[in-house]
Amino acid sequence: MNKSRKNSDTSLTSALPKKNSGAASTKASPIRILIAEDHTVVRDGLVAIIRQEEDLEIVAEAGDGRQAVNLWKQQRPDIALMDLQMPGLDGVSAIYEIRAINPDARIIVLTTFDGDEDIYRGMRAGAKSYLLKDVRRQELFQCIREVHQGKIFIPPAIAAKLAERLPGEDLSPRESEVLRLLAEGRPNKLIGTAMSITEVTVKSHVQAIFKKLNVLSRTEAIAVATRKGLLHPVLDDPSASLPEK
């Protein structure tokens, strides 16, 4: 074995530790967890590390948002770990549906997306925490336990991004569509054709987008929108958080 791993950190990507009793040394019932993650290898990795903790129990695994909602109804877990980008029904929509059933549902977003808007949407939907998939395993365990106790768990880096999210930035559905087409490089005329609106109306939407994003050009608008999570150039990389053997 490579001795350089001896002092490695405790991130999700580090080697699996021995079974740990965690924070709960008593015989209390374990915290029942549902994992919603569409990438099988990432989901399997999460299951493997969480099962190392005696006070944590996986009761359900979902590969998409719709399945997550259905399994939540069946199992009523104490905690749900929810990815944002999933087929069928995305994570934010799944959170809304679950909280419509039980407003006290305790849901933790676990994703690769760290844009201001992603964080804002997740927390606005009712998530109790927002974690990135490079989170250290001990921080993940701490988060699960604290959220189970009814607390809100927001890491400092996420809190800072959330604070940067200024009020009044919300784009209308039309503006969001115009922004998406701008990002594809389409001129106003082709945007108007695609949306069945006039070129003048497109220009009006573009100006509204510039004002809300506090930018002066299309290039700047696309850059800011991507940083804030209003545009997603790629989906989650399933190799982003693979546990090492």
Average pLDDT in the 165-190 region?
Answer: 83
The CATH number of 11-164 is which of 3.40.50.2300, 3.40.50.800, 3.90.580.10, 3.40.50.2020?
Answer: 3.40.50.2300
Does residue 6 have a pLDDT over 50? no
Query: With 0-12 CB in 10 A as exposed, 13-18 as middle and 19+ as buried, what is 99?
Result: middle
The domain segmentation of the chain, as residue ranges, is 11-164, 173-228
The topology (CATH level 3) of 173-228 is Arc Repressor Mutant, subunit A (1.10.10)
Does residue 235 have a pLDDT over 60? no
Q: Which of 107, 100, 44 is nearest to 77 (CA)?
A: 107
How confident is residue 185, by pLDDT bands cut at 50, 70 and 90? confident
Average pLDDT, the chain: 82
- The confidence score (pLDDT) of residue 25 equals 46
Q: Is the pTM of this model over 0.75?
A: no
Rounded-to-integer distance, Cα 82 and Cα 43, Å: 11
Q: Pick the more confident residue, 107 or 242.
A: 107
Q: Pick the more confident residue, 156 or 209.
A: 209
Rounded-to-integer distance, Cα 168 and Cα 177, Å: 18
Both tokens assigned to 28: 């209390």
